[in-house]
Amino acid sequence: MIELTAAQVAAATGGRLSADPAVRVGGPVVVDSRRVGPGSLFVALPGEHVDGHDFAAGAVAAGATLVLAARELDVPCVVVDDVQAALGELARHVLATLRERGDLRVVGVTGSVGKTTTKDLLGQLLRPEGPTVVPRGSFNNEIGLPLTVLEADETTRFLVLEMGASGVGHLTYLTRIAPPDVSVVLVVGSAHLGEFGGIDAVARAKAEIVTGLAPGGVAVLNADDLRVAAMADAAPGEVVTFGTIPAADVRAEDLGIDRTGRASFTLRVRPGASAGADEGRARVTLGLVGEHHVTNALAAAAAALRLGVALPGVAARLSDARALSPHRMQVTERPDGITVIDDSYNANPDSMRAALKALAVMAGRDRRSVAVLGEMLELGDDSRVAHDDIGRLVVRLNVKLLVVVGEGAGGIHDGATQEGSWGDETRFVPDVEAASALLREELREGDVVLVKASNGSGLWRLGDELAAAGTARGGDHA
């Protein structure tokens, strides 16, 4: 973070100063006292189970020079009414200051699937151009986004932000903190339907990243998704589209998928879609597993081209890009001949379908495909039907063994049974431990195993267990 005095922090947050006004904050801004460094600002967030105020004294002892708090403490602090809101205000102030001082460009990425993959790809495309800040993991909410903004300093040229939403108005809040120069919208899908209340509400919420653009900003929209493409009408300025259809400004042609599930395509750029004016073509071979990553790669390419990266560099860096976040289409080859696809970080119907198709491609005709699937959370009234649909897709893709984990995922088992699976092809187990025991008995040399569920299911533990004996060669999926 840029160096600020305690008085400046108080002014930016509207807080009451209970410290020497000249105390300086120049270290990392943290909400976890274990991450404190010299000169840190410790943000004492109240939590459901843990209150950050209880760790303030320890944070100061570890090197923090100031605490952002909701009540008076026996340490140097700025006292505010709402710590989370104050954190956002501080990030907004710091970003505005940095924009006044230099040529910092902000990229915001949203979508029902693919956000984390795309921001990781963007980081790999932009870092060779200059200092770039990219969120750790999925820092995409009202806490994670301000913390990422506050990692930027005077040297930062690109700030890539993942923007998540679980309701209308959430992206308006995030774009108020950090108005993007380039807003990327990937897909309007069925993630969080239970919280949004319907697919149209999801579309309205995702469009907030377009209406929240900074003056002169560019909207980068998925032409293959009709709901995303329609957001062009809400864009305050220029629009660049990406996709596989001929009308897209940045598109994939001659698309192919190899037996490892990796896509190759010709990246074609329409005149005016990049910072330069010329049309161009370049060949790309992705290192990420799954055809769905073509969308993420095109989105990252379109944004990077608008930010001044030349087409040859974009193509070469996309081909060299690797997975950076765990449990997202991470492929491990085990010494016993079993291939594990760990996509257990999260799941919704769109990402589940994409992962199952990748499993079918990788297994082909010669290897046995095994799908270990848990519950997809936050689907509301559509949950039972969505799980049933996935079970039926498993059968249509000719997956040889389906293991359904937990009561919440039971609809997958039911759908597979109704579609025509029978006997030992479909197994239901109550929990991760039972799934682990079953797989120890069932897996054999040559199997390709997909592990996928929403994060709250705990199925990531099984992904770690299955992959522990092998060598990862990674993909990525959000």
Binding site, by residue number, is 111-117
For the stretch 330-333, contacts whose Cβ atoms lie closer than 8 Å and that sit 24 or more positions apart, written own/partner, are: 330/463, 330/467, 330/472, 330/474, 330/475, 330/476, 331/260, 331/261, 331/289, 331/472, 331/473, 331/474, 331/475, 332/466, 332/467, 332/470, 332/471, 332/472, 332/473, 333/470, 333/471, 333/473
Beta strands at 262-269 and 250-257: parallel, antiparallel or unpaired = antiparallel
Could you give the CA distance from residue 396 to residue 227 in angstroms, rounded to a whole number?
27
By the 10 Å C-beta count (0-12 exposed, 13-18 middle, 19+ buried), 211 is classed as middle
Q: Which residues contact 49 (CB under 8 A, 6 or more apart)?
A: none
Q: How far is CA 398 from the centre of its chain?
A: 29
| DSSP assignment of 394-424 | HHHTT-SEEEEESGGGHHHHHHHHHHT--GG
Q: CA angle, 370 as apex, 364 and 372 as ends, to 5°?
A: 140
What's the half-sphere exposure (Cβ side, CA atoms, 13 Å) at 362?
A: 30
Report, in angstroms and rounded to the nearest whole number, the Rg of the chain calculated over CA atoms. 23
Other Cβ atoms less than 10 A from the Cβ of 386: the count is 20
Strands (E), 239-338: 239-243, 250-257, 262-269, 280-289, 330-333
What's the half-sphere exposure (Cβ side, CA atoms, 13 Å) at 133?
A: 22
User: b/e per residue, 218-255, with b = 16+ CB within 10 A?
Assistant: bbbbbbbbebbbebeeebeeebbbbbbeeebbbbbeee
Could you give the CA distance from residue 468 to residue 448 in angstroms, rounded to a whole number?
15
Length of the chain: 478
Could you give the CA distance from residue 124 to residue 300 in angstroms, rounded to a whole number?
10
In contact, 300 and 284? CB cutoff 8 Å: no
Binding residues for ATP: 111-117
